[in-house]
Structure 1
Amino acid sequence: MTSSETVSDTTVILVNLGTPEAPTAPAVARFLREFLLDPRVVSIPRLLWQPLLQWVILPRRSPVVAEKYAQVWLSGEDGGSPLTAYTRRLARGVQARLPGLKVLDAMRYGAPSLQAALQAERAAGTRRVLVLPLYPQYSTTTTLSVEDAVATVAGLPVRTVRDYHVDPQWVAAVADSVRTHRAAHSAGEHLVFSFHGLPQRLVDRGDPYQQQCEAGARAIAAALGLAGDAWTLSYQSRFGKEKWLGPATDTTLKALTERGVRSIDVIAPGFSVDCLETLEEVAIGLAEQVAHAGGTLRYIPCLNDSPAHAEVIAGIVRRELAAWA
């Protein structure tokens, strides 16, 4: 154990995006309102955007999204939204590996609130807080938004992890998850890396997200020993009419099936844990698309709360605290 791990007045907060508290239209509307009013997510002037969001988008979208959440909601005492449940369990796994630290989980939007957690740590007199956004790739829409929230809580020394998109331990863990899945189900003919989409204008302005997605995918493919024609990178979850990063995952899958590829493995390494976008959009929706074209899509789960993932995050924490010291 390093000296940094024995400091009892250091808190680590693992931060994820957030999720509704229930698979209902009112809960979804509350979550989407907070999320979509973040100027890092939607840059339309608030005077124009807020009425449109409140009176048009939320009434139409919330019931539809609630039905999607209901399809993936986890039952049981430790269940709920997959993103919340897996993030909570991951924090427990990291805590077990770093017993000298206090490890919390929090959400940028919704509960448990990141800002509330930071305010509680300040009130408790915590000496320093390491905030680790569970986004392997940095983006102004995600990591920078977390930094915005951190900046609202004054008087507390905070260090924020920027990214870990080519961290060797993370790359190895993702590659091992692909090997394990393929060994259990037989390897598909092609592997698709599906990352969350981003408006092209943000990348044009200098957002490093696309570059980091590509670097991470290349590192994972290299760790797997894949030839260049054995894998493809694509982007999912487009929203609105403006140009987004491409190629899109749905059109990529369509092109593969039209080419005669019948078994496709899909992994989403931009997501630390499974959520609506991976489970409903990919494992259900895109799998149905491929099935209608005569093929089979097998979704490879995120690292979630696996021991390997907890080891990865604990390793990043150790490195960051050592650098901070």
Structure 2
Amino acid sequence: MFDSTSKASACPAHAPSDHPAVPKAKTGVLLANLGTPDHYTYWPMRRYLNEFLSDRRVIDYSPWLWQPLLQLIILSKRPFTSGEAYKAIWNEDKGESPLMTITRDQTDRLSQVLHDKYGDDVMIDFCMRYGNPSTKSKVRKLVDAGCTRIVFFPLYPHYAGATSATANDQFFRALMEETWQPAARVVEAYFEHPLYIEALAQSVEAAYEDAEKRPEILVVSYHGMPQRYLKQGDPYHCQCQKTTRLLRERLGWDETEITTTFQSVFGPEEWLRPYTVEHVAELAEQGKKNIAVIAPAFSSDCIETLEEINEEIKESFEEAGGEEFLYIPCLNDNDAHIAALADIIDQNLGGWT
């Protein structure tokens, strides 16, 4: 990431000589991803899960009922099981989760693109909704560097209250603590952006081309959410369905070659259906022995893709008689994805640069 904080500050023109130095005004771009524990051991996992599961956007049950259950039961056990899952995918070389590594790589690549186009007038950084680096710390860093305008970019293609909205909430809370608040723009969901759909399609085509045998069906697996959120007006389900349709149309496929499912079910409520873990088993039982799975709702590979899809969901498929299971990685920092994200940022910088 290019660091514009090294640019010297100066006293404003026509100001008295004792006026505090002010850095050169610039525009900041702040990418936001979900978050990651600092380590997979018990206490870092507990701190991370506590912050995540205490978010009323994520779990909206009454705190009087939810917090005793969370603090006394869930957080006494779940850090161990979640820690084992993170340990299985941990980037030991860098001492961090894959989500952290990939989000940093995306930021670095976008930083180069923006620097080539805008020079030091635009700087980019990333933050996490939960864990580190915090949204508050990165907003403070951008303001200190002279950013009088910030484009806040939640890296969620599809809007949901439990993802996009809570990231925005945290950004707005950070702005509340600034004496001189920068002007702010929030990037809207990009589930139908042509370059995003193109990047997905290219990733599918490349994976199918490399496969020894063409998969019989592509399972497009999105993160799930409770059914009642849809009834309350959350657009997530509809946006997911549209992404699948646009992807199918771009690939030129028949409807029998692609299906939409939802993963990561949590708690006793009815969630969006069909559930990925159940549907892949049903496909195997119906004679579909060779399938592919892609997860377009995730901008970066993470615990839900590397561990849940590649292990739990794959195991469900194979135990039901499935034979060939192809996981198509998230777009991560591939060229087509970076081009899509850069185009979205450019659109949101309009009139500011």
Alignment counterpart, residue 178 of structure 1, candidates 204, 207, 212 = 204
CA displacement, residues 30-89 of structure 1 (integer Å, 9 cap, x when unaligned): 101001111101112223322221111011111000000111112323x62111110110
* Counterpart amino acid of residue 172 in structure 2: A
Q: Distance in 1 between matches of 2:270 and 2:341?
A: 34
Pick from 61, 86, 90: which aligns with 1:44? 61
Which amino acid in 2 is paired with 1:172?
E
Does the CA-based 8 Å contact 2:106-2:332 persist in structure 1? yes
Tell me the CA shift for residue 122 of structure 1.
2.7
**Matches of 1:187 and 1:82 in 2, distance apart?**
28
What's 1:231 paired with? 258
Task: Report the counterpart of residue 70 of structure 1 in structure 2.
Answer: 87
Provide the C-alpha distance between the structure 1 equivalents of 2:319 and 2:63, rounded to a whole number of angstroms: 41
For 1:77-122, what per-residue CA distance to the aligned partner results, in whole angstroms no more than 9, with x for missing partners? 3x62111110110000111111032111110010011121112323
Q: What SS is found at the alignment partner of 2:56?
A: coil
1:1-325 alignment to 2 at 5 Å? 9-77=26-94, 80-99=96-115, 100=119, 101-152=122-173, 153-154=175-176, 155-185=181-211, 186-295=213-322, 296-322=324-350
Counterpart Cα distance in 2 of 1:119 and 1:52: 35
SS of the equivalent of 2:40 reads: coil
Q: Secondary structure at the match of 2:129?
A: strand
Instruction: Tell me if the contact between 1:90 and 1:309 (Cα under 8 Å) persists in the aligned partners.
Output: no
> Mean alpha-carbon deviation: is it higher for 51-60 or for 122-131?
122-131
CA contact (8 A) 2:294 2:327 kept: yes
Letter in 1 for 2:184: V
Contact between 1:236 and 1:248, CA under 8 Å: does it hold in 2? Answer: yes
User: Per-residue CA shift, 1:297-318, capped at 9, x if unaligned?
Assistant: 1100001121222111111000
Q: Note if contact 1:25-1:65 (Cα within 8 Å) is conserved in structure 2.
A: no
For residue 4 of structure 1, what is the aligned residue in structure 2?
none
CA contact (8 A) 1:93 1:307 kept: no
User: Percent same amino acid among aligned pairs?
Assistant: 39
CA distance in 2, matches of 1:273, 1:238: 20
**Distance in 2 separating the partners of 1:300 and 1:309:** 14
Which amino acid in the other structure matches residue 150 of structure 1? F
Q: Deviations over 1:249-308 (max 9, x none)?
A: 011111111110000000000000100000111012211222222322110000112122
SS at match of 2:111: helix
Q: Distance in 2 between matches of 1:294 and 1:107?
A: 39
Structure 1: any 5+ residue segments left out of the alignment? 1-6
For the 8 Å contact 1:23–1:69, the answer to whether it is kept is yes
Q: 1:92 to 1:42 in 2, by over 3 A?
A: same
- Secondary structure, counterpart of 2:141 in structure 1: helix
TM-score by length of 2: 0.87
* Contact 2:292-2:325 within 8 A present in 1 as well: yes
Query: Alpha carbons of 1:207 and 1:263: their partners in 2 closer, same or farther (altered >3 Å)?
Result: same
In 1, the alpha carbon distance for the partners of 2:287 and 2:266 equals 29
Q: CA RMSD in A?
A: 1.5
2:7 counterpart residue number:
none
8 A contact 1:91–1:105 mirrored in 2 = yes
Is the contact made by 2:27 and 2:352 (CA closer than 8 Å) also made in structure 1? no
Indicate the structure (1 or 2) with the bigger Cα radius of gyration: 2
Q: Which letter does structure 2 place at the counterpart of 1:293?
A: A
> 2: distance between equivalents of 1:129 and 1:52?
39
Q: 1:146 offset after TM fit, Å? A: 1.3
Deviation at 1:324, TM superposition (A): 6.0
SS at 2:350's partner residue? helix
Residues 176 and 114 (structure 1 numbering): CA distance in 2 closer, same or farther, change over 3 Å?
same
SS of the residue corresponding to residue 124 of structure 2 reads strand
Question: What letter matches 2:325 in structure 1?
Answer: L
